[in-house]
Every structure is written in structure tokens, then in C-alpha cells.
Amino acid sequence: MLIFSPTTIRSVNPQPLPYLSFSHSISLPLPLTSLPTPSKSPHFPSFHINCIDAAQPFDYESHLKNRYIQSTSLKIAIIGFGNFGQFLSKTFLRHHTLLAHSRTNYADLANHLGVSFYADPHDLFEQHPDVVLLSTSILSTETLLQKLPFQRLRRNTLFVDVLSVKEFPRNLFLKYLPPDFDILCTHPMFGPESGKTSWAGLPFVYDKVRIGDEESRIKRCDKFLDIFEKEGCRMVEMSCMEHDKYAAGSQFVTHTMGRVLEKFGLESSPINTKGYETLLNLVENTKGDSFDLYYGLFMYNQNALEQLERLDMAFESIKKDLFGRLHQVYRKQLFGDNNGEVEKKRSLAQQLLGNGSLTESPLDNVRQDGS
């Protein structure tokens, strides 16, 4: 702030005064005609300038850095600040501004992380985020979308989901979002356990369902995807339909086997093998997820039921193989090696019938001899 005040100069400099100087080498030229001459006023008035909180010299490098950060950063609003939302936010915060909303009050935790928490979605959307990311449960997604105040957002906002199924949220976005909103469906195929040390090499699936043609909207989508690419994720672009087909055969089967083994009561032992350790890790990774997530994988992926039936058929097939072989062992123990003789007689009877030489099959006698 600058304060101008008149002062009196007691000694007159016979030289003309072309400039009045400010601090930090800032000078303002004043016309000589505007200054009284010493001959007319031996104690002519002048301006004395006091600088309070004067700005420091202009830092061009800091200015460029700030402009670069603003050009590459996004304002991301996370809706659903549970375990997975918190997990993502720790990485997002390195280069982006984060806002959050959730049914549960996570204000203290969010403030500790450096995230602005809003209990009311109206207040959140009035901040005009560039990206709105849904990190809710699969079961609550539709109810949530019906209540969000879209009118408070800019009309080309980018909506992103990170649900474990893809066709279901894609259809909901197309149904409930205004037509001008951009849609990006994604699935980070890792979580707080598998991605706690690094995201390098972990698959990230995405589908650009609806992205506007404007350069700014394309760049915004690319900036969001760059978060995962720069962390070393294996970026996989595929349609939501393809994702659900593959996920039912991998993710759903993985969760199913993990929950089956958990129900089985798998426990560690002093002689664990590498394969057994793998099974223990599978149980550990899956039991941390809620049953709602597992139910959502089953309920909202049309391929899941087929995979469950295939698992059931495979299990029954293995049981039949085991019990079938066990039956043969029991027969040998009970009847000795008569099976070989019976099979010879059966084969002979079939050959005779095939040639038309016998009108009656001796199979009944064979069965009686062998039983």
C-alpha cells in the first residue's frame, strides 16, 4: 500500500528534479513544468512516498512455475470418500486439487490429507470442479445420481466412475447425466492392498464413452488419464462390454474363490508351500472387500452367473472323477481282478452281436458272473 503525503524541502537543490524515485528502483517521471522552481518558492512542497507491505521484486521463474501447475492440474471432486476414495486421493494430491463428499462425515480425515470436504453436494458442485469422480458402491450408484444437483456444475463437466463393473454405470450415466457432460468409464484393477506400494504394471481399464470435440475437453480427459499412466499403470482401452466379459472370468472368479476359501477356513501352517501362500494371499486380498462389492460384481455383470455355473459344474466334475476312481479301487478290493475277465466276455459278446451270429446277448450271464 502506498501513502502519499506532502512534505517541505528545506534545502533547495539548484539542479532540476526530473524524477521522483520509489523503493525497489521504481521511478515515475514528472514533467518539469509541474514542479515549482526554487526562485518562486524557496520551500516548495513535494510528495513523500511511504511503502507499506511493498511487493518483492517480480519472480519470473515462480510465475512460470505457477502457470505450469495451473495448466496441468485439475480440480477433482470425489463423491464417496471411503477406503477406495481415500486410497486414490493420496496419489491425486501430488499434482491436483481435491474436493470430497460422502454420506459419512470424513471432514477431519480429509483435512489431514489436504482435501476440502463438503457435507452438502450443492456446496461441492458450486466449486465448479473439472472432474467429478464417483467412488461409491455399485448398489448405491443409481440412487446417488438421481439426487445430485447437476445444475450447479459447468455444463461440460467430466464425469468419471471407478466401479468394478462397467456397462451398468455407463448406462446410468447416459440415462441421468445432462447431454453436454463428458463421460469416462474407468476401472483401476487394483486396490489399497495390491496397490499400496506402487501402481507400476497394474492394469487400468478405461472407455471414453462421450468426450466433446473441443480441444480443452480432450486435454482434460487426457490429464486425468495421465495420473495413472505416470504412476506406471498398464493402460488398457476397451469397451465397457468387453471389460465385463473379461472381468467375469477373472475378477469375479477370483473373488468367488477367495470367499470360498475364507468360508473353508484356510489357515497358515509351519510348512506352507508357495502355492499355499498364494491361496492365503488371495483370501487376505478378497476378505478386505465388502460383500456389497462382491454382490455387485454378481448382480450387475450379466456374465457372472454363467461363470458361477461353470465353477459349480467344474467342481462337480472333479468330484465325479475322484469318486469314480475310488469306486474302482473298492471293486478291486471286494472282487479281486475279476473285472478283467468280465470285460473280455463283454467285448466278445459285442463282437458276436455285431456280426449277427447271436440272437441273444450273453450280457446277463456276464453280469451275474461279475456281480
Identify the CA nearest to 362 among candidates 340, 341, 343, 346. Answer: 346
Can you give the pLDDT at residue 54?
53
User: Residue 102's pLDDT band (boundaries 50, 70, 90)?
Assistant: very high
Residue 275 has pLDDT above 70, yes or no: yes
Q: Is residue 138 part of a domain?
A: yes
Q: Is residue 148 part of a domain?
A: yes
**Residue ending a domain, choose from 208, 238, 268:** 238
Domain boundary residue among 206, 238, 270? 238
Top mean-pLDDT range of 9-13, 15-19, 53-57, 329-333: 329-333
Q: What pLDDT does residue 348 have? A: 59
In a domain, 99, yes or no: yes
More confident: 50 or 293: 293
Q: Is 56 among the domain residues? A: no
Q: Please check whether residues 323 and 227 belong to one and the same domain.
A: no
C-alpha cell at 56: 518483492
- pLDDT of 339 reads 55
Convert the pLDDT of each residue in 190-225 to its tens digit. 999 889 999 999 999 999 999 999 999 999 999 999
- Is the pLDDT score of 329 beyond 70? yes
At 331 the pLDDT is: 74
Task: Residue 315: give the domain boundaries.
Answer: 247-328
**Is 90 exceeded by the pLDDT of residue 31?**
no
Q: Are residues 107 and 232 in the same domain?
A: yes
98 in the same domain as 80: yes
Are 192 and 280 in a shared domain?
no
Spatial neighbors of 361 by CB under 8 A, at least 6 apart, are 349, 353
**Residues 317 and 203 grouped into a single domain:** no
Within a domain: 166: yes
pLDDT tens digits for 52-68? 555 555 666 766 666 66
**Do 71 and 152 have their domain in common?**
yes
Mean pLDDT of the chain: 83
pLDDT reported for residue 180: 96
Shared domain check, 285 and 169:
no
In a domain, 171, yes or no: yes
Report the alpha-carbon angle 229-232-235, nearest 5.
50
Q: How many domains does the chain have?
A: 4
Q: Does residue 258 sit in the same domain as residue 205?
A: no
Q: Record the cell numbers describing residue 246, joined without a space.
A: 473379461
Shared domain for 126 and 192, answered yes or no, is yes
Segment of 8-17, 65-74, 117-126, 250-259 carrying the highest mean pLDDT: 117-126
Q: How confident is the model at residue 332 (pLDDT cuts 50, 70, 90)?
A: confident
* 256 and 232 together in one domain: no
Residue 275 counted as domain residue = yes
Residue 207 lies in a domain: yes
Are 104 and 210 part of one and the same domain? Answer: yes
185-198 pLDDT per residue, tens:
999 999 998 899 99
Considering only CA atoms, which of 9, 29, 4 is closest in space to residue 19?
A: 29
Looking at the structure, tell me whether residues 121 and 177 fall in a common domain. yes
Q: What percent of the chain has pLDDT over 70?
A: 71
Residue 308, H or E segment: helix 304-335
* Per-residue confidence (pLDDT) for residue 326, from 0 to 100: 85
Tens of pLDDT, residues 146-175: 999 999 999 999 999 999 999 999 999 999
Rounded to an integer, what distance in angstroms lies between the CA atom of residue 162 and that of residue 171?
A: 14
Question: What is the number of alpha carbons within 13 Å of residue 203 lying toward its C-beta?
Answer: 13
Provide the whole-model pTM: 0.68
Domain boundary among 194, 214, 238: 238
pLDDT band at 351 (very low <50, low <70, confident <90, very high): low
β-sheet bridge partners, residue 237: 206
Question: What is the predicted pLDDT for the residue at 289?
Answer: 86
